[in-house]
Amino acid sequence: MKKGLLIVLSGPSGVGKGTILKEFVNDPELNLAYSVSMTTRKMRPGEIEGVNYNFVDRPAFEQAIRDGELLEYAEFVGNYYGTPEEAITGWLNQGKNVLLEIEVQGALQVKKSCPDALLIFIAPPSFEQLAQRLRGRQTEDEQTVNNRLAIARGELAQAQQYDYIVVNDTVEQAVEDLDCIVRANRFQTNNMKEFLDEVNHNA
């Protein structure tokens, strides 16, 4: 069976990743499985264990690292975040496409260990607009917003290492662009090897 595609999405805090993802994951044609990460950060109001994250303490996370259970992990603003490998391998082998929503350090680790992974970076239309969106939320104080903007600057500087950049001007357009990228990727020669082998074998 044809293996599924590993899709890795990143983008700075405030860029609107969550909204885009909700639309994207629900596209039945994409046959997507969403990987739930493990984290040591505290659960936020409204979050659900096992749905948003598997929330664990630091010793449990460090044990998972030692046991080699994580495809990648990173420390982000004082907390660990990581992707458990087991479910992903299963899904990919069943031909399902798998979506990871992770930060930049983790995404670059995935690219190293899985060179066929598709790395997509969601960028704001401008840095100004990102700052406006973060301040507009009014859920964080100025210091927190400035910390997030400093991190965003670092992340944007790494965006050129991704395979594709999607600009989130409007959610509809960003989701459509993501769909296009994933669809086109299916027909890349790399991903059509099995088909070509079969056609050539029977020629």
Residue from the set 91, 98, 103, 111 that interacts with ligand 5GP by CB under 6 A: 103
Under the binding rule (CB under 6 A), the answer on residue 101 touching ligand 5GP is yes
CB of 76 to ligand 5GP, least distance (A): 5
- The rounded distance, in Å, linking the Cα atoms of 56 and 33 is 22
Report yes or no: 84 and 38 within 8 Å, Cβ to Cβ.
yes
Q: How far is the CB of 40 from ligand 5GP (least distance, A)?
A: 10
DSSP string, 95-117: T-EEEEE--HHHHHHHHHH-TT-
Applying CB under 6 A, the span of 20-28, 95-103, 121-129, 133-141 interacting with ligand 5GP comes to 95-103
What residues pair up with 53 in beta bridges, in sequence order? 37, 49
Nearest residue to 100 via CA among 21, 188, 158: 21
4 alpha-carbon distance from chain centroid: 15
**Could you give the C-alpha distances from 104 to 82, 101, 167, 187, 203, in angstroms and in order?**
12, 10, 16, 26, 44
Q: Contact between 106 and ligand 5GP (CB under 6 A)?
A: yes
Q: What are the tokens at 43?
A: 């659960």
102 binds ligand 5GP (CB under 6 A): yes
20 binds ligand 5GP (CB under 6 A): no
Question: Does residue 177 touch ligand 5GP according to CB under 6 A?
Answer: no
- State the nearest-atom distance from the C-beta of 188 to ligand 5GP, in Å: 25
Distance CA 65, CA 49 (A): 20
- 117 in contact with ligand 5GP (CB under 6 A): no
133 binds ligand 5GP (CB under 6 A): no
How many Cβ atoms sit within 10 Å of the Cβ of residue 31? 14
CB 147 within 8 A of CB 37: no
Q: How far is the CB of 197 from ligand 5GP (least distance, A)?
A: 34
CB of 132 to ligand 5GP, least distance (A): 19
Indicate whether 124 belongs to the interface with ligand 5GP (CB under 6 A).
no
Q: How far is the CB of 69 from ligand 5GP (least distance, A)?
A: 12
Per CB under 6 A, does 64 bind ligand 5GP? no
Interacting residues with ligand 5GP (CB under 6 A): 37, 41, 72, 74, 76, 81-83, 101-103, 106
